[in-house]
Amino acid sequence: MTIGNHHLNEKVFIIAELSANHNGSLETALKTIDAMKASGADAIKLQTYTPDTITLDCDNEMFTISQGTQWDKRKFYDLYAEAMTPWEWHETLFNHAQSLGMEAFSSPFDPSAVDFLEQLDVPAYKIASFEITDIPLIEYTAAKGKPIIISTGIATLSDIEDAISACKRMGNDRITLLKCTSAYPAALEEMNLLTIPDMIQRFDVAVGLSDHTMSLSAPIAAVALGARVIEKHFILDRGMGGADSTFSLEPAEFRAMVDAVRDTEKLMGKVTYELSPKSLQSREFSRSLFIAEDVKAGELITTANIRSVRPGFGLAPKHLPEITGKRFLRDVPKGTPLSWELIG
């Protein structure tokens, strides 16, 4: 799977989510992209919607948040009006990110956003967790033929199957699923990251993690379990406040996460039983059979005059039973590594 110039099978793709963390300032958004790049992000992701494309301006209580979140008592419409990234900023933000060598794309929330993003030639699309049940939107997006990343935060197994089927109906199998827990922030015990290898096997697609914890542990564990994408919210300073500030990482925290992910990639390596040059050199410190006392030609080999000790320059200790009772072919001083040439 390739997103822009990034090959997921070669390097974990690390996405910095801007979301609402521009706080209504284009200057802040541009500075945030600079900080994302300096913190090691491979890509920036926006969200492309207006209040009218994502909800209704309605006073009905169903359109007021009341789930024990930081956004409780706020109308959906008002929250999204505050949090949206103005569409007229997108090209400027994308161009700035691309000038820094970053990929830049977005989550569309309706077909008009897809059409708009197509004009900007984005390299991929992200379907947000809460849109995974919008099969017409997924079909419309997948039909563009670009890589499609689907977050699964509120999805049942059948929801995920439906979303994948929707993409494939449109002839698009360039699918990445993101394991996600839609809580803000998410508790570690609710992450269930063992689902990642199951998703890889079950759906035969690339899998990653959209992480809303405030810990470095989740991305590290996810990569160890096979995740090829990590997405995290990014903010210059949580003290700025804003709709997503409480579960976003500051630059130093994001940098620490990126470093930890890159270290984990190195640690995972590949399946191999070959020894590295350092390990091969360290075999010199393994045990082997050595002459433990001066011996004469014709003398019997016993466990008294042959011992298994470090270093590893003699015969392997596994040969001790088969050579015990045989005789030395010549005089041998103590401290000589045992070899077949000494045994008759």
Question: Distance of CA 42 to CAs 105, 207, 232, 326, Å?
Answer: 11, 17, 12, 66
- Report pLDDT for 52: 96
Query: What dotted CATH number matches 7-49+84-268?
Result: 3.20.20.70
Task: Choose between 65 and 200: higher pLDDT.
Answer: 200
Overall residue count recorded for the chain in this entry: 344
- Report pLDDT for 69: 60
Contacts of 26 (CB under 8 A, 6+ apart): 86, 89, 92
Contacts of 240 (CB under 8 A, 6+ apart): 21, 23, 28
Which segments of the chain belong to CATH 3.20.20.70? 7-49+84-268
Residue 295 identity (one-letter amino acid):
V
Per-residue pLDDT for 135 more than 90?
yes
- Report pLDDT for 67: 62
- Report pLDDT for 68: 60
- Report pLDDT for 232: 97
Contacts of 248 (CB under 8 A, 6+ apart): 17, 19, 21, 232, 233, 234, 235, 238
Which pLDDT band holds residue 72 (cuts at 50, 70, 90)? low
Per-residue pLDDT for 36 more than 80?
yes
The CATH number corresponding to 277-342 among 3.20.20.140, 3.90.1210.10, 3.40.630.10, 3.50.50.60 equals 3.90.1210.10
Per-residue pLDDT for 221 more than 70?
yes
26-38 helix and 251-268 helix, angle to the nearest 10 degrees: 30
Which segments of the chain belong to CATH 3.90.1210.10? 277-342
Closest to 33 in 3D by CA, of 85, 107, 109: 85
Which pLDDT band holds residue 65 (cuts at 50, 70, 90)? confident
Mean pLDDT of the chain: 95
The token pair at 51 is 């209040």
Q: What gap in Å lies between CA 326 and CA 302, rounded to an integer?
A: 8
* Total Cβ atoms within 10 A of residue 219: 25
- Report pLDDT for 1: 86
* Per-residue three-class SS string for 14-54: EEEECCCCCCCCHHHHHHHHHHHHHCCCCEEEEEECCHHHH
